[in-house]
């Protein structure tokens, strides 16, 4: 059986010294690995009522689009500030090097719709936590957050669980 971990390239010292960058472009380029990844992300939610999949820019768009297709759900892009053409709701969040902002269209999710958040990786959880709060602010019920990779030592998945959001990850890299 294909080990998804083997399909991910690790690039040391990128984008700065001491960081082990987990590059999923190799997984996406491997048809079997990509298909298995999407299948495993979708499997627990098949047959459940899911209205929308929200994907975080940019790798969350690729994965989220495939998950949305498989679950017959709509797709909602969550983007960096200034990238969406219609009226938006936004949230500022902290990064290790400052503050950033993300946005989504204000009409992308209706109150009470059941949404799954998708991205490639959960590390410190800053971006994912902000995305969950943004979705909840406009009335979404965030039923889960799913990621291909978890860096558990950084605690991001635990932050989402503390918000009451179940988290599913496929691969963990200890010591990130």
Catalytic residue numbers read 59, 96
Q: At what angle do helices 59-71 and 31-42 cross, to 10 degrees?
A: 60
Tokens of 25: 């472009």
Q: Are strands 74-80 and 98-105 parallel, antiparallel or unpaired?
A: antiparallel
Alpha helices, DSSP H, located in the chain: 25-29, 31-42, 59-71, 126-137, 156-162
Per-residue DSSP letter, 109: S
Classify strands 9-12 and 20-23 as parallel, antiparallel or unpaired: antiparallel
Burial class (CB in 10 A: 0-12, 13-18, 19+), 129: buried
């Amino acid at each position: 059986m294909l080990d998804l971990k083997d399909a991910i390239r690790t690039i040391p010292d990128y984008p700065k010294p001491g960081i082990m960058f987990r590059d999923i472009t190799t997984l996406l380029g491997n048809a079997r690995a990509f298909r298995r990844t999407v299948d495993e992300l979708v499997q627990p939610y098949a047959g459940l009522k899911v209205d929308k999949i929200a994907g975080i820019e940019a790798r969350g768009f690729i994965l989220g689009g495939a998950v949305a297709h498989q679950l017959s759900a709509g797709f909602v892009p969550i983007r960096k500030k200034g990238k969406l053409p219609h009226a938006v709701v936004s949230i500022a969040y902290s990064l290790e090097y400052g503050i950033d902002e993300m946005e989504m269209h204000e009409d992308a999710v209706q109150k009470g719709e059941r949404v799954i958040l998708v991205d490639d990786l959960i590390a410190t959880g800053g971006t994912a936590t902000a995305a969950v709060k943004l979705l909840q602010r406009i009335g979404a019920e965030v039923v889960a957050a799913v990621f291909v990779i978890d860096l558990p030592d950084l605690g991001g998945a635990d932050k989402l669980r503390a918000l009451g959001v179940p988290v599913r990850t496929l691969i963990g890299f200890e010591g990130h």
